[in-house]
């Protein structure tokens, strides 16, 4: 399958969105709202629930179900208040020693004038900085689209998982095509050039595992995902915090391809 | 001509290539520009200038020592035209990539310094920029030095795909460690600072200064206009706009920049105690 075909699948409406994973993976959920600074952003769902017997904080970028819901959630393009809500709940999780589980599905951070006025760049930058040092385990799963900085703002994690047809990209293939070829119709070519598939993420050390998509047996699929989370969490929770943070640091530290004095 | 200026630059240790004002298109000799704090001698507007010149201008004479000068980008995705873009950028700027890093003194105050090169593929951040800035922070942490960073960037370098996006996380993690050890990070936002650099280390300074009129934002103006569907105010995403909205500490003119930086570095000198 080509990268473009995967991109189309990742964007299909009717594909399970963040809410479906929350409902399937966590029991007794309590949803928490607002950034306590400016407002509430429906593009990011957050709250506390049980993963088996373990209380966890969940954060999910939610594109919405029907048109009305999608409008209310800004089609899953978060604004600064969404990222600040996510950060607030991450710090809360840290205080109470709860692991953080993030679900990413976004075309990217919202590009409106209001988002710029309220510091979209700063909001993302602060999440990157804080997640790098958060003293509880962070697991991030890209369930659909992982669009640029707006996805990375929930992606500085100890483990990153990709769904089989999920994509993760530095820029939307449309944006890339219009910048490079002044032709947004060359999306297919751009998607290919950008290397956005789950296999690419494994190859570049951006993700640790790929989850197969068996949406027709969604509860069973989530059961397998849950088992993987529990396995990785018990491994992470058994480590001294300093070691976990050092490994998180190295996880990103080693990403980069260049030559020095002509040698790779 | 290019050969001659290159030779002159080598001999004097200073970049002798003339500058061209983006506003009035006047060509300004390097010497004149230096003397005039890189303001256009014809129209008075701020000139855009590269990282190495920037450091020569702000640092005390003969104090700059470069960190990791020999890193080069690789076209590891075989991305259309990337190899050629790199080659052209290296030829026009004389730099291997879009950032220059090292140690220097500002009016006697030691620091680690980095400055980005707007003419190198729009100072976009790929593996080399990410690696060099990360090393600069690691060096600063090891030696308990403050970091002074001049940002300018078109964002992440899409020709390096997801690897370029991850540089935002990599640098942020290094900033965090440096910060946790109580060290100062001072950023100066210069024209233009956008995209993934704004959404990472440009906005992570303890103190954030900006040059007057510098374009600073996350999304590009045209994209915002398309999304918002209306005309934006003239000063949208300019440093004055950011100051008004609470995102920069101060706007400092070039004539005052060196003394302001020196003062802030002195105030954070960790060896001074009553
Ligand atoms: Zn001029």
Nearest chain B residue to A179 by CA distance is B158
Optimal mutation site among B73, B74, B172, interface A, most CBs of chain A within 10 A: B172
Q: B49-267 in CATH: which number?
A: 3.90.226.10
B158-173: pLDDT as tens digits: 999 999 999 999 999 9
CA of A27 vs chain B CAs: smallest distance (Å): 32
Q: What integer is the mean pLDDT of B52-79?
A: 97
Q: Who among B127, B174, B245 is closest to A117 (CB)? A: B245
**Contact in structure between B145 and B269 (CB atoms under 8 Å):** no
Residue B1 has pLDDT above 60, yes or no: no
Both structure tokens of B130: 């990410």
Helix axes B161-180, B127-142, angle to 10 degrees: 10
Contacts of B219 in chain A (CB under 8 A): 109, 111, 115-116, 120
Enumerate the domain spans of chain B: 1-47, 49-267
Residue B213 CA, ligand 1 centroid: distance in Å: 14
B9-36: pLDDT as tens digits: 655 656 788 999 989 999 999 999 999 9
pLDDT for res B231: 85
Q: Is residue A261 part of a domain?
A: no
Contacts of B232 in chain A (CB under 8 A): 113
Residue B125 CA, ligand 1 centroid: distance in Å: 28
Residues 104-163 of A with CB under 8 A from B: 109-122, 124-126, 128-130, 132-133, 148-149, 152-153, 155-156
Q: Is residue A138 part of a domain?
A: yes
Whether B172 and A117 lie within 8 Å, measured CB to CB: no
Give the position of tokens 């954070």. B268
pLDDT for res A132: 98
Q: Report the domain count for chain A.
A: 1
pLDDT for res B8: 62
Nearest Cα to A125, choosing from B136, B227, B198?
Answer: B198
Whether B219 and A115 lie within 8 Å, measured CB to CB: yes
Residue B47 CA, ligand 1 centroid: distance in Å: 8
d(CA B266, CA B271): 10
Q: Is residue A253 part of a domain?
A: no
**Contact in structure between A228 and A158 (CB atoms under 8 Å):** no
DSSP string for residues in B144-156: T--EEEEEEES-B
Instruction: Compute the count of residue pairs across chains A and B with CB atoms less than 8 Å apart.
Output: 192
Whether B165 and A262 lie within 8 Å, measured CB to CB: no
B82-98: pLDDT as tens digits: 999 999 999 999 999 99
Label residues B97-135 b or e (16+ Cβ within 10 Å = b).
Answer: bbbbbbbbbbeebbbbbbbbbbbbbbbbbbbbbbbbbbb
CA of A171 vs chain B CAs: smallest distance (Å): 7
d(CA B6, CA A212): 57
Kindly give the parts of chain A with pLDDT less than 70: none
B106-165: pLDDT as tens digits: 999 999 999 999 999 999 999 999 999 999 999 999 999 999 999 999 999 999 999 999
CATH assignment of the domain containing A126: 3.90.226.10
DSSP conformational letter for B46: B
Whether A252 and B166 lie within 8 Å, measured CB to CB: yes
Cβ neighbours for A39, distance < 8 A, ≥ 6 positions apart: A81
CA of B71 vs chain A CAs: smallest distance (Å): 4
Both structure tokens of B193: 């600072």
pLDDT for res B222: 87
Whether A170 and B195 lie within 8 Å, measured CB to CB: no
Nearest chain B residue to A167 by CA distance is B162
Whether A257 and B127 lie within 8 Å, measured CB to CB: yes
What ipTM does the predicted assembly reach? 0.97
CA of A238 vs chain B CAs: smallest distance (Å): 23
Whether B163 and A252 lie within 8 Å, measured CB to CB: no
Q: Which domain holds residue A198?
A: 3-247
Whether B219 and A196 lie within 8 Å, measured CB to CB: no
């Amino acid at each position: 399958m080509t990268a473009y075909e995967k991109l189309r699948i990742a964007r299909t409406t009717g594909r399970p969105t963040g809410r479906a994973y929350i409902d399937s993976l966590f029991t007794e959920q309590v949803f928490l709202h607002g950034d306590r600074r400016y407002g509430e952003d429906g593009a990011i769902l957050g709250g506390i629930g049980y993963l088996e017997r373990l209380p966890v904080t969940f954060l999910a970028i939610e594109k919405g179900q029907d048109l009305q819901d999608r409008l209310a959630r800004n089609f899953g393009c978060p604004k600064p208040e969404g990222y600040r809500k996510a950060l607030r709940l991450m710090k809360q999780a840290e205080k109470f020693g709860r692991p953080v589980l993030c679900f990413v599905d976004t075309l990217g951070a919202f590009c409106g004038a209001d988002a710029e006025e309220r510091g979209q760049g700063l909001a993302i930058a602060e999440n990157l900085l804080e997640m790098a040092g958060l003293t509880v385990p962070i697991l991030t799963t890209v369930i659909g689209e992982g669009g640029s900085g707006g996805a990375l703002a929930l992606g500085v994690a100890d483990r990153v998982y990709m769904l089989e047809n999920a994509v993760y990209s530095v820029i939307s293939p449309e944006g890339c095509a219009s910048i490079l070829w002044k032709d947004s119709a060359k999306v297919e070519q751009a998607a290919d050039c950008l290397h956005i598939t789950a296999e690419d993420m494994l190859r570049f050390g951006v993700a640790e595992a790929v989850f197969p998509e068996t949406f027709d047996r969604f509860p069973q699929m989530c059961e397998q995902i849950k088992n993987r989370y529990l396995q990785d969490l018990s491994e992470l929770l058994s480590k001294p915090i300093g070691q976990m943070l050092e490994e998180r640091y190295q996880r990103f530290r080693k990403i980069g391809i260049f030559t020095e004095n002509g040698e790779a | 001509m290019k050969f001659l200026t290159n030779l002159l630059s080598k001999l004097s240790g200073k970049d002798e290539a003339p500058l061209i004002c983006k506003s009035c298109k006047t060509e300004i000799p390097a010497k004149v520009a230096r003397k005039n704090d890189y303001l256009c001698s014809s129209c008075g507007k701020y000139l855009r200038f590269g990282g190495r010149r920037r450091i020569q201008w702000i640092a005390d004479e003969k104090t700059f020592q470069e960190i990791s000068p020999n890193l080069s980008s690789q076209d590891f995705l075989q991305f259309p035209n990337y190899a050629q873009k790199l080659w052209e950028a290296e030829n026009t700027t004389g730099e291997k990539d879009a950032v220059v890093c090292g140690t220097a003194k500002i009016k006697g105050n030691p620091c680690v310094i980095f400055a980005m090169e707007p003419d190198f593929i729009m100072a976009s951040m790929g593996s080399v920029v990410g690696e060099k800035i990360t090393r600069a922070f690691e060096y600063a942490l090891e030696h308990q030095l403050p970091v002074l960073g001049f940002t300018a960037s078109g964002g992440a370098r899409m020709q390096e795909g997801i690897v370029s996006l991850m540089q935002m996380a990599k640098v942020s993690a290094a900033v965090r460690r440096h910060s946790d050890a109580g060290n100062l990070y001072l950023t100066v936002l210069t024209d233009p600072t956008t995209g993934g650099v704004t959404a990472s280390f440009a906005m992570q300074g303890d103190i954030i200064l900006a040059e007057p009129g510098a374009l600073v934002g996350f999304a590009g103006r045209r994209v915002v206009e398309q999304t918002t569907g209306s005309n934006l105010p003239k000063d949208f995403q300019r440093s004055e706009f950011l100051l008004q909205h609470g995102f920069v500490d101060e706007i400092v003119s070039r004539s005052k920049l060196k003394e302001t930086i020196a003062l802030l570095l002195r105030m954070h000198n960790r060896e001074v105690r009553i």
